[in-house]
Structure 1
Amino acid sequence: MTHLLVVGGIASVHEVARRHGAELTLIKTGAAQTMLTPDAYARIIDVSEYEGDNHVALANRVIKAASGTRFDGMLCLHDEAVATGALVAQKLGLRFPSPGVTHRTINKSAMRTRLDATGLGSVAHGLVVDGRVEWSGPVPASEIVLKPVDGRASIGVTFHRSADELQAWLDDRPGEVEGYLAEERKRGREFSVESLIVRSGASWHGVTAKTTIGAVESGHLHPAPVEFVDRTRIVDAAVACVEALGIDRGLLHTEVILDDAGAAHIVETHLRGGGDMILDLVRASTGLDLVELFVRDLLEGLDDIPEVDNFGYASSQFVFPVEIGVIAGWDGVDEARSMPGVDVVTTLLNAGDQVSPHVHSSYGRSVGALARADDPREACNRARIAALAPTPVLESA
């Protein structure tokens, strides 16, 4: 039996590994990470109480706790665990991207610097140091995006009309955003590329279209209905990015903007599949279960990736709340789930949660839905209508 060291949560992925006969030792790195019932694991090493940001110290704790156990591989697909996972894998001789490579996928400034060094940089960028942006090159004349250097779910992202306007904004908030990344804002259509690269070097890349409200993602559609030449540019940019960062195997998610001139610009990349049900969209529209294939490649090594089917289009859409208050429950969920073409309707805020129309991250959205159709517009419409159907019941004042 193959014994995997599992670093971080995502219960659905753990279940796939168990279904393929793997024995699992779980390193629980966060209290909120999902996991199977405890009896599904040979052992659980819980380091979720660790509150520091010293990944080396945390990795050493994990290695000490796991000493004496031989592992055949490591499974780690959680954003919050990959830095620790990379250090553990390096110490134990397990296959995983090196700590340096992993750092480039977490730290967006390190990614930008690497892309610049390999001739792939197309976005002006700089870091906030002592209240001012230290640009890596000429100051851009465009709008500016300011974001945490290692942020996720659009938390802390702000937009600014110019570098001068950003500086005035920084002057009013001394010390609040030290170390943040400032980037030239590229205008255009937004996409993500889901990639699977297996042991043999065979790869598959799928393009998903996305929509946003401000910085927060509001919908996805797979496959993206784009011309062949645009799809090629998007995929080529993603492939060049992961190669430049030093990634040669795994399940990956790379975000790309295609500007009005047809040039592709990298936003970020991750050592995991896309969230927001994107992997479900891929499976629903192509028949490819990327998580299943990733786990199989980890356990047995794959030489080929199956041919895709054409099941039409699949879309996930998300609702931003309009209410203010505390949620007591939901109405209309079952009705939404019974709508034509709808596969999934899920409420994202639970009883007791605060609800507000002031959404500043993905965590503030209220409902998500996934639907399928032969036509891309119809897939989006079905998912959108289903997501709008549930209504929150608010606690009385």
Structure 2
Amino acid sequence: MKRLLVLGGGRQAAEGLKDLQQKGFHLVVCDMDENAPGFAFAEDKIIASVYHLEVCLPAVLAYHAEKPISGVMCLACDVPHIVAAIAEKLDLPGNSLETAHRAVDKLAMKDKFVADGVPVPEYRQVESTSELRSLRSEWQGLVVKPVDSRGSKGVSVLDQNGDADWAFENARQNSPSGRVMAERYLEGPQVSTESVVIKGKAITPALSDRSYEFLDKYHPFIVENGGTMPSALPEAITEKIETLVSHAAISLGVENGIVKGDIVVHENEPYVIELAARLSGGYFCTHQIPFSTGIHLVEAAARTALGEDLDPSEWNNEPKCPVSTRWCMVDEGTLLSFEEPEKIRAMKNVLAFETWVSPGSYIDRPQNAAASIAMVQATGASYSEAVKNAENALLEFNPIIQKQ
């Protein structure tokens, strides 16, 4: 029996784990939450924090001593460095520790990209607010971020009217190593990609146009509220993006596995904002990509983690239908009520709907996508119709907030 260890059993991982279980994988799920929903699809579970190697590794080693593990991956959690450390310790397939380090250290990642000729926005580590002000004068607009955080925590836009002291401290406090970096803000559409890398070549079946319609409302925070695929960008641009992702994956050091890209297209040229050596969260790999393309990259990740050779032709299908994801963002306050989720799921063209809050919950002002209170995915006869159907579903959800 080949046991596959999956780090992460939260709500965003559950559907992917269910799919793997149905495909016959023997799953061992690790999560610190004893009630993690993903445990329902595991043959065994390990109770440990996947974000702390000093906690996770001993628990995994103790399990492995009794029941050998054949592969390890993560799902809906940003821990490729933990995966790599476990894989090295147990002599399992996976990325090198060096590759995993680059994947979670934005400066190391971009230094390697620049060395290998991968286009990225101009960037620099900043040690003080005076450096930040100097860069603002040089670049006009910039993005300030922690070097080694996740989920857009600590990220903000700094324009000519912004507070450099606050932006620097916000990023520093959200960096485990206390390091801050700045990037030149490039105007242009942004795209989420997800690819399977097979023998050094990235195959990218998923390109989703990211939605940032609330940038002004939640400024200086960068709050994404969804995405739609297939991308509406011209084919010439999407082909450039696919070539860029493959180049970046090679630079990062991913020989076999999954890479998730954040790409900006500036003046018709794509640039890598970040490239993660893992599956995405946000119901992208578990829901949106399969709905639109029929391709299950979670399965690709699982098979790669177990050392199986993949056939490139299995992962390069054309999108079957438009699918739009929208996150429900609300103003700060107490959530009083909302429409029953089953009513939303029953709406025509709605493919999935999830909410993780309850009446009486206090909702903070959104600072990133993690502040959302619900997610809907919908389809339609066209790209614009899929977007409209998703937005209409959130209108029907109708959360009522009592402002403070």
TM > 0.5 fold call: yes
Map 1:84-233 → 2, pairs under 5 A: 84-129=82-127, 133=131, 140-161=138-159, 167=164, 169=166, 176=173, 178-198=178-198, 203-212=203-212, 213-214=214-215, 215-233=222-240
Does the 8 A contact of 1:342 with 1:372 survive in 2?
yes
Larger deviation, residues 358-367 vs 107-116: 358-367
Q: CA deviation at 1:298?
A: 4.2
Greater helix fraction, Structure 1 or Structure 2:
2
Counterpart position of 1:16: 19
Cα gap change, 1:294 to 1:331, in 2 (>3 Å): same
Aligned to 2:355: 347
Shift in CA distance, 150/388, structure 1 to aligned 2, threshold 3 Å: farther
TM-score by length of 2: 0.83
In structure 1, C-alpha distance between the alignment counterparts of 2:83 and 2:155, rounded to whole Å? 27
Letter aligned with residue 181 of structure 1: M
Aligned partner of 1:360 in structure 2 is 367
Q: 1:316 aligns with which of 322, 325, 329?
A: 325
Aligned to 1:3: 3
- Cα distance change of structure 1 residues 336 and 304 upon mapping to structure 2, 3 Å threshold: same
* Aligned-CA RMSD value: 3.4
SS across alignment from 2:354: strand
Please report how far the alpha carbon of residue 167 of structure 1 lies from its aligned counterpart in structure 2 after TM superposition. Answer: 4.7
CA displacement, residues 276-315 of structure 1 (integer Å, 9 cap, x when unaligned): 3323222222222222343345454322433625533111
Displacement of 1:190 after TM fit?
0.6
Structure 1 residues 200 and 324: alpha-carbon distance in aligned structure 2, compared to 1, 3 A threshold:
closer
Q: Using the alignment, how far apart are the partners of 1:286 and 1:23 within structure 2?
A: 25
User: Cα distance 1:119–1:345, how it changes in 2: closer, same or farther (>3 A)?
Assistant: same
Residues 98/378 of structure 1: CA separation in 2 closer, same or farther (3 Å cut): same
- For the residues of structure 1 that align with 2:168 and 2:270, how far apart are their CA atoms? 33
Q: Gaps spanning 5+ residues in structure 1: where?
A: none
Cα distance in 2 for partners of 1:383, 1:47 equals 36
| Contact preservation (8 Å) 2:7, 2:77 | no
Q: Using a 3 Å threshold, how does the CA distance of structure 1 residues 68 and 344 change in structure 2: closer, same or farther?
A: closer
| Per-residue deviation, 1:228 | 1.3
Point out the more displaced range, 331-340 or 368-377.
331-340
Partner of 1:45: 46
Distance in 1 (alpha carbons) for counterparts of 2:82 and 2:142: 32
Asked if the contact 2:116–2:251 (Cα under 8 Å) also holds between the matched residues in 1, the reply is yes
Q: Report the CA distance shift for 1:30/1:127 in structure 2 as closer, same or farther (over 3 A).
A: farther
Shift of 1:174: 11
Confirm or deny: 8 A CA contact 2:205 2:318 kept in the other structure. Answer: no
Is this contact kept in 2: 1:191–1:255, CA < 8 A? yes
Which residues of structure 2 form unaligned runs of 5+? 216-221
**Are 1:265 and 2:263 counterparts?**
no
Percent identity at matched positions?
A: 21
